[in-house]
Amino acid sequence: MSQIIRVKDVSIGEGHPKICAPMVGTTMALLEEEALTISELSCDLVEWRVDYFNDVMNIDRVKEALSHIKKILMEKPLIFTFRNRAEGGQQTISPAYYHHLLASVIETKQIELVDVELMMDDAVVHALVSTAHKHQVAVIVSNHDFKQTPSTQEMVQRMIKASELGGDIPKLAVMPQCTSDVLALMEATRCVKEDHGIGPLITMAMGGLGMVSRLAGEVFGSDLTFGAAKTASAPGQIAAAELQQVIQLIHRNMPGINQ
């Protein structure tokens, strides 16, 4: 059965899809500037894409930056994400350091959610899920395909596996080549949510062609979307303020809302 994931005052899987603003600063100064901008936005969550950070190979500097970010963002829940280059990130690190980095940050208890890549070795995913849950950190198990859109069946299976590995929120992002790819992503989302009872979910088709999936995800079962504060972290990302207006409009007109 689909669940509701609560992080601070935000309920993912309940009400309108939540909006997450990414931080992509390369230095401490740029991250602080981004955090100040985001702190004034009406977004629900923030994602720190630490693969953009110049000092990501220095755990102490990562922790220092995290402390600065948290002081500025105050009560906004924070997702900690290192995205490897194979899944659209800025750089690649070894599985061993990936595990060390994420586990070290989880143990600071300064994040509310952590993103773990589905394509990591299952043992690494299991270990990080276990560490996160031990420290009351929710886990997004994610998969990104920047080249294509897999078959509907394959997308469904990836999200099911993300859930079976212990992920609280499966996430899938794909690159559509045609409108039928966007429809396939939406059908896979509906299938996982309605037929398999798995959720919350985060799904999106990237690029301009897939923009509708970011706007109307609620219709098909996606519970969170990403909106840019200053700089987008993925193709097709819309400004958070504009995104909020459309999401609220769609939510108000969903069956059962205020009726």
Residues known to be catalytic: 144, 171
Among 236, 202, 237, which residue's Cα sits nearest to residue 217?
202
Q: Are 154 and 186 in contact (CB under 8 A)?
A: no
Q: Are 146 and 206 in contact (CB under 8 A)?
A: yes
Q: How many CB atoms lie within 10 A of CB 13?
A: 20
Strands 18-23, 45-49: pairing is parallel
Contacts of 255 by beta carbon, 8 Å cutoff, 6+ apart: none
Q: In what order do the strands lie in the sheet with 138-145?
A: 202-205, 169-174, 138-145, 113-117, 78-81, 45-49, 18-23, 224-228, 238-239
